[in-house]
Amino acid sequence: MPGERELDKILTVIEAVSAVEEAASYGPIALRALRAILSFELGSFNEIDTEAPRAFFCAYPEDPPDEETLSEFPRLVQQNPVLQYQRRTSDGSAHRISDFISKDELHRLELYEKVYGPRGIEFQVALALTAKSPQVVAFALNRTRSDFSDDELVLLNLLRPHLIQGWRNVQALAALRGIDGALAEAGKAMIVLGDRGEKIYAPEWADRALIEHFGPATSEGFPSPVESWLEEERRPLFLDGQARIQQPLVSVIGARQLVARFIRGSEGRPDVVVVEERSRERGSAELRRLGLTQREAEILLLVTEGQSTDGISRRLGVRPATVSKHLEHIFQKLGVTSRTAAVATATDALYSYR
């Protein structure tokens, strides 16, 4: 178990990388955080394609490479014995160059002659975030006078899972931002949830829409009605032998309808909430495609909004018995036997990805 001092160091780096939101900023920020807890003269963050060969790297403190080094680095870096080990074994844990070759052997490499030697690099430790061939994403920390100790390797390996998580987070955020525009054009947004159901990522317009429809956000990032709904939706789908159908959260303001739908994640994929805002007229038109009449579609839309039979009766100015009769016809056309199943069918028609 790491001691209190080591835990403080780990926390310093975790806090730094967990706050990164842009992929281009991850390398520099992580390197600055690592240098604050571990001494080195020059560090680099590298993304290497071992088959192309192709490589990208950023350095800290900044040491802009010349054009010749930039063009030669993808070929020369293949000589690095740590990279060779990572590529061969997919083991990305921290290793030193000296774990594999002697100082004399290092000096005979063209990599040393053209890259390491001119920068005074005599000792290096590297750890990979991913080492699955052909791509290697790794940190390389370099010193001029002394090698890295076993204790420093232990510290880096304790940090490695958190560095990996930070890198995955910025990659996921980049992917989400890439699809935000397309989703927004369709009036949709995807909100990513953490392990406790807290908000990890949400487009700005989705935040504004939830607040407008459901009130101010709490410390967890959601309005209270949304938090209560999420607590219910995140419960097991099978409880006490009973299957539970998930329900959307619906709000209507004038002619605008907002629907939030919870999508449970699987291994390696987080829970998300899909938010959609559309006109009620559009929703009614899509329900008619299920073979419903205009009145039936209107009633089913009100049912998906949580309206009771009496509430629908008052809203439409008809008797409750008339609403019940319409619901019977709706159930028959949809091939369902309950209000809950009808809502599930309607929700799939209204708010599925397409």
Q: Is residue 181 part of a domain?
A: no
**Where do we find the tokens 């950023």?**
58
Range 76-104 average pLDDT: 92
Mean pLDDT in the chain?
83
Q: For residue 331, give the amino acid letter.
A: F
As given in the structure block, the two tokens for residue 323 are 């609403």
Q: Is residue 177 part of a domain?
A: no
User: Does 205 lie in the same domain as 139?
Assistant: no
User: Does 122 lie in the same domain as 202?
Assistant: no
Question: Is 7 a residue whose pLDDT tops 90?
Answer: no
Q: Is residue 23 part of a domain?
A: yes
Q: Is residue 202 part of a domain?
A: yes
User: Does 215 lie in the same domain as 128?
Assistant: no
Domain of 218, CATH number, reads 1.10.10.10
Question: Is 267 a residue whose pLDDT tops 70?
Answer: no
Question: Is 341 a residue whose pLDDT tops 70?
Answer: yes
Highest mean pLDDT among 191-195, 327-331, 348-352: 327-331
User: Does 201 lie in the same domain as 163?
Assistant: no
Tell me which of 181 and 248 has the higher pLDDT. 248
Report pTM. Answer: 0.56
Question: Is 153 a residue whose pLDDT tops 60?
Answer: yes
User: Does 163 lie in the same domain as 14?
Assistant: yes
User: Does 157 lie in the same domain as 211?
Assistant: no
User: Does 285 lie in the same domain as 219?
Assistant: yes
Lowest mean pLDDT among 46-60, 89-103, 129-143: 46-60
- Domain final position from 113, 142, 171: 171
Parent domain of 218: 186-351
Measured over all CA atoms, what is the biggest interatomic distance in the chain, rounded to whole angstroms? 94
**pLDDT confidence of residue 39:** 93
**Where do we find the tokens 């994929």?**
269
**pLDDT confidence of residue 353:** 38
As given in the structure block, the two tokens for residue 82 are 């740590």
- Domain final position from 145, 171, 197: 171
User: Does 206 lie in the same domain as 149?
Assistant: no
**pLDDT confidence of residue 263:** 79
Tell me which of 208 and 103 has the higher pLDDT. 103
**pLDDT confidence of residue 351:** 55
Question: Is 8 a residue whose pLDDT tops 60?
Answer: yes
- Domain final position from 113, 148, 171: 171
Q: How many domains is the chain built from?
A: 2
Q: Is residue 317 part of a domain?
A: yes
Share of the chain above pLDDT 70, in %: 84
**pLDDT confidence of residue 127:** 93
Per DSSP, what are the bridge partners of residue 126?
A: 95, 140
Question: Is 251 a residue whose pLDDT tops 50?
Answer: yes
As given in the structure block, the two tokens for residue 300 are 């089913």
Share of the chain above pLDDT 90, in %: 27
Q: For residue 320, give the amino acid letter.
A: P
User: Does 240 lie in the same domain as 114?
Assistant: no
User: Does 91 lie in the same domain as 197?
Assistant: no
